[in-house]
Amino acid sequence: MLKNIIYLFAVSLILLGCKTSKPLSGKVSKDVSVRQLTKIHEKSFPAIKTLQARLRGSYTSKEESQSIAISARIEKDKAIWLSAKLAGIIPLAKVYITPNRVQYYEKIDQTYFDGDFELLSEWLNLPVDFDQVQNLLLGQAMLTVTKGKYDLLFQEKEYKLTAQLNAFLSQTLLINPAHFRLNAQHYHKLGQAESIRINYPEYQKINDFWFPKKIDIQANKVNENTQIEIDYRSIEVNKPVSFPFEIPKGYKAIELP
């Protein structure tokens, strides 16, 4: 139960959604360079300050499947707060994430974690920090090339950028030509059967910016595949938010290996 809930939190942090939008269409231009494409994508990042949302997340693995309701409150670049409830009524867990700290507790097992991003990175199967998680969940490239370069392929309905980020990790970005947000981003550990695929099948426009309406994540490890789907039910943007969080007394700390 604990790992499943945190998995849902990890992929449900700050996606936005309030009403259904039709699939977007745009034309791929072969006049666009890699540099232009990456700059336009960076500038498309949503300019928001706060968010409050209600969503439903589902988790599926070989062993089991779950669905929970989650309330989210976010102050961009500063804090992420989530509260999970079973059937929207029974409290299950809370999460509070800041740029330097990850905290959560689960009521059923009466356990908690208070530390850095190492545990979250392990469950996502990819090293992450606050900014990278935020980018991932807003439809923005989680990692960018600092050395070397992207290879650009003009596909029928999207731009495809590929790069080897380092000696161990490759990246693929699929960019929508209508709004230059991501259709998908994939990361693969070279020489290993481990990868994470984040797909954004639907977007909608809020406050003149495009946000994901749905997200599908597939985390693949050796003999272990996990799928997470997120649907957003309601949202409020740029209103005051608070982050009530206190680990209950008597809970047992989760120790990293």
How do the domains of the chain map onto residue ranges? 2-250
Phi, psi dihedral angles at 130 (to 5 degrees): -60, -50
Q: Between residues 65 and 13, which one has the greater pLDDT?
A: 65
Q: Label residue 241 by pLDDT band (50, 70, 90).
A: very high
- pLDDT at res. 111: 94
Q: What is the tens place of the pLDDT at every residue in 103-121?
A: 989 998 899 999 988 877 7
Q: Label residue 17 by pLDDT band (50, 70, 90).
A: very low
C-alpha separations of 51 from 57, 84, 135 in Å:
18, 17, 15
pLDDT higher than 60, residue 249: yes
Q: What CATH number does the domain located at 2-250 have?
A: 2.50.20.10
Q: Between residues 91 and 21, which one has the greater pLDDT?
A: 91
Give me the mean pLDDT over the 190-209 stretch. 86
Residues with Cβ within 8 Å of 84's Cβ and at least 6 positions away in sequence, in order, are 5, 8, 9, 68, 69, 70, 91, 92, 93, 94
Q: Label residue 245 by pLDDT band (50, 70, 90).
A: very high
